[in-house]
Copies of this chain bind each other. A is one copy, B any other.
Amino acid sequence: MSKTIKVGIIGAGRIGRVHSESITKYVKGAEIKAISDVRVTEELEIWAKAMGILNVYQDYQQILQDPEIDAVLVCSSTNTHAQISIEAAQAGKHVFCEKPVDANPEKIRQVLTAVEKAKVKFQVGFNRRFDHNFKAIRDRVVAGDIGEPHIIRVTSRDPEAPPVEYVKVSGGLFFDMTIHDFDMIRYLSGSEVDEVYAIGAVLVDPEIGKAGDIDTAVITLKLKNGAIGIIENSRRAVYGYDQRAEAFGSKGAVKTANDTESTAVYFSASGVVSEKPKYFFLERYMQSFASEVSCFIDAIINDKPTLVNGNDGLQPVLIALAAKKSLDEGRPVKLSEVA
């Protein structure tokens, strides 16, 4: 595995920089040759230099046209994911696309077609599949240790609600936040989803309600393998980022707890105190960002399938659409109604 894959990062916002840093530090076999952003500031140039990224472009076409670049990470705003992914595939680049690929299943299907035609690798940024805890559950399920899955539960709570301005353009809770949990239900259960029922509420911040969104949700899912999925969401857990899951089946169960900064437990007259969960996704999931890109690079170098493929990009969007319809109509909705 002596080849080094040259990578271009499209979009230098938060997630683009997270990937840049984790590739630089942790991903063997990859080298960032260029980064692009619609707004090239002096700050961006200084940051890129410090990261050792030599080329900073305003126009991502410069990345697509560079014959030395093997692969791109599409980290631009969500509404541009599909178009850029298609163009990148047509330019012969392997494509790692941040989630969600698009809110419109039709556009996702166009991306999948383009990718297939171009015979390039395609991976979607569902990084939590690479988290050590969720992976430990998945490994038990795949090994048959819990037998047939019966109930899969995902608890996913943010430490604080995003600004309302963000909420307004986020696509709504199901597309912005729950999309990861929809993926997790599929990943842990190994099954597609048949039907969705969503309860939503505005309990955290009335402004979120005024913006037409919800901040608290419980979604139950009938899976095609007969199991039942449960997702619990809140935009604000005051004690920190709460990311747990449990898979229960005919032969047992496996569950995970949150990661903490240390294992220290303090005993005093007023109680026994242990650490809060790691604060937010950068703290909790940093290792998974490196792992997912390592997996993508490995798929390219060794011509293997990626571990989060096109269908894995499509299905959560269908589930989110069904959840939204369920919430709006107050009834369970089959995926076939939105497909």
A18 within 8 A of B: no
The contact size tier of chain A is 35 or more
Contact A230 B228 (CB under 8 A): no
Distance in Å: Cβ of A150 to nearest Cβ of chain B? 5
Q: How far is the CA of A160 from the CA of B262 in the complex (A)?
A: 25
Also in contact, A228 and B252, with CB within 8 A (given A239-B267, A269-B238, A276-B272): no
Pick from B232, B264, B273: contact of A153, CB under 8 Å: B232
Chain B residues with CB under 8 Å of A267's CB are: 237, 239-240, 242, 252-255, 276
State in angstroms the CA–CA spacing of A230 and B154 once bound together: 12
B256 close to A262 (CB less than 8 A) = yes
Please determine whether B262 and A255 come into contact, CB atoms closer than 8 angstroms.
no
The digit string for A133-175, where 1 denotes a CB below 8 A from any CB of B, is 1011100100001001011010001000000000000000000
* CB contact list, A210-236 vs B, under 8 A: 216, 218, 220, 222, 226-228, 230, 232, 234, 236
Q: A330 interface residue, CB < 8 Å from B?
A: yes
Distance between Cα atoms of A201 and B237 in the complex (Å)? 32
* Known contacts A150-B216, A332-B330; A145 and B263 CB within 8 A of each other: no
* Closest chain B residue, CB of each to CB of A222: B199
- CB neighbours (8 Å) of A253 from chain B are 237, 239, 242, 266-267
The residues of B that contact A256 with a CB separation of less than 8 Å are: 262-265
Q: How far is the CA of A261 from the CA of B240 in the complex (A)?
A: 21
Q: Which residue numbers of A lie inside 8 Å of B, CB to CB?
A: 25-26, 132-133, 135-137, 140, 145, 148, 150-151, 153, 157, 197, 199, 201, 203-204, 216, 218, 220, 222, 226-228, 230, 232, 234, 236-240, 242, 248, 250-259, 261-269, 271-276, 330-332
Apart from A137-B264, A238-B269, what 8 extra A-B contacts exist at CB < 8 Å? A150-B203, A151-B232, A203-B250, A238-B250, A256-B265, A258-B263, A274-B274, A331-B331
